[in-house]
Amino acid sequence: MRQNSQKAAKKPSKGGLPNALFVHASVESLPEELYGVASHVSILLPWGTLLKAVALPEKSILQGIAKLCKKEATFKIIIGYEADKEKNTIQELSLPELTKEYCEKTLKPAYQEAGFEISWRFISQTELKQLPTAWAKKLAYGKERSFVEIDGAFCR
Going from N- to C-terminal start, the domains of the chain cover: 1-27, 35-154
Rounded CA-CA distance 39/42 in Å is 10
CA-based nearest residue to 55, from 35, 82, 88: 82
* Chain center to CA of 99: 18
pLDDT of residue 35: 93
CA 146 → CA 47, 54, 65, 125, 149, distances in Å?
Answer: 15, 16, 24, 8, 10
- Is the pTM higher than 0.75? The answer reads yes
CATH superfamily of 35-154: Vaccinia Virus protein VP39 (3.40.50.150)
Rounded CA-CA distance 155/96 in Å is 27
Mean pLDDT, the chain, integer: 89
Residues 65-108: pLDDT tens digits? 999 999 899 999 999 988 788 889 889 999 999 999 999 999 99
